[in-house]
Amino acid sequence: GDLHASDFDDLADLGHGNGGAVKKVIHRPTGRIMARKTLFIDRTAGNVLEAEAERLKKQVVLELQILHQCHSPYIVTFYGAFVHQGEIFICMEHMDLGSLDHLYRKLGHIEEPALGKITVDVLEGLIYLYLQHRIVHRDVKPNNILVNTAGEVKLCDFGVSGEAINSLVKTFVGTSQYMSPERILGLEYSVTADVWALGISLMELAMGRFPFPPEAEDVSKLSVVDMLQFIVNEDIPPLSTDHFTPPFVDFVSACLIKDARKRPTPSQLNQHKFVEFSRVNHFDMAEWGQKVKFRLGK
Ligand code: ATP
Ligand code: MG
């Protein structure tokens, strides 16, 4: 059924980013716990008149309806979107362990066997989005990879493109440190840009910090332009085989091939030995989730 603003009770704040703020809510008519995101509207966008802005917001909700067609165990389920008091709300499946950025900061870093399971699931999600819907995610990063205590790993916040969304919503326009060289350079990009972002994300989760530049003590002191220049011009130092298995090190290096035409696609990476090992390994992510839940006192 349709979702209405008055049918929700707020339970907790889950976090906020550049694109919006997310709350844990209960949808009273169904009793279902959901994560509800309020999109930050770009109020500076093209001097849009009030009436026009209202029309555009309704159009955004229509463009988001494509999400109702995304059904995959590797994609956070979409429950619906609506406009209320000038704001756009998106309701989705609540993932009780939250995003990998929060988790790795609390845990220090994430162990390679868990990263194997995460890699397998993220690749499945990217392959599903691209093969079934021709969607390039465009915002792969630890913040947008969610985990629950059932041991499921799912992608959220992928780039649904539409005229209204592009004109009104800030989410996908910002530069980010997970952007591939070809995106930074303003060239055409495809699903291999998601592969780059997966590589950077895996390095960050494995090392417990953003991976470069290697010598910088404090990445936050580096200007955005310096960072983007580094990504375009410098080689990303590979993970050390002192701490990680050669297949994992090789997988991450394959993701971080600078030339987009030489970088593998998600389907190609699905055959990589790290992925094959990880599938055979059957890492118990549900047990891991229970341990993490206990450690975080959730
Ligand atoms: P950015 O806006 O820069 O992309 P972000 O992804 O962290 O960063 P949001 O998408 O607004 O920003 O999400 C804020 C936080 O809310 C996330 O980091 C995550 O921890 C939490 N969150 C988002 N969606 C869910 C969900 N479906 N279930 C549980 N927690 C969620
Ligand atoms: Mg997000």
Per-residue pLDDT tens over the stretch 219-254:
666 788 888 888 999 888 899 999 999 999 999 999
246 Cα: distance to centroid of ligand 2 (angstroms): 31
CA of residue 289 relative to chain centroid, distance:
19
Residue 8 to residue 3: CA distance in whole angstroms: 9
Mean pLDDT of the chain: 91
Strand ranges of the sheet holding 98-99, from the earlier edge strand across to the other edge: 98-99, 145-147, 153-155
Q: pTM of the full predicted structure?
A: 0.94
Smallest-distance ligand from the CA of 197: 1
What are the pocket residues of ligand 1 if the criterion is a CB atom closer than 6 Å to any ligand atom? Answer: 14-20, 22, 35, 37, 76, 92-95, 98-99, 102, 139, 143-144, 146, 156-157
Note whether 87 and 36 are within 8 A (CB).
no
* ipTM score above 0.95: yes
Quick one: pLDDT at residue 157?
A: 93
Among 116, 117, 165, smallest CA distance to 139 is for 165
Does residue 159 surpass a pLDDT of 80?
yes
Q: Which of 34, 99, 292 to mutate to test the pocket of ligand 1 (most atoms within 8 A of CB)?
A: 99
Residue ID of nearest Cα to ligand 1 atom 26 = 94
Specify the residue with its C-alpha closest to ligand 1, atom 13. Answer: 16
139 catalytic? Reply is yes
Residue 84 has pLDDT above 80, yes or no: yes
Averaged pLDDT for residues 46-62: 81
Q: How many CB atoms lie within 10 A of CB 199?
A: 24
Confidence of residue 298 (pLDDT cuts 50, 70, 90): low
Task: Flag whether 37 is marked binding.
Answer: yes
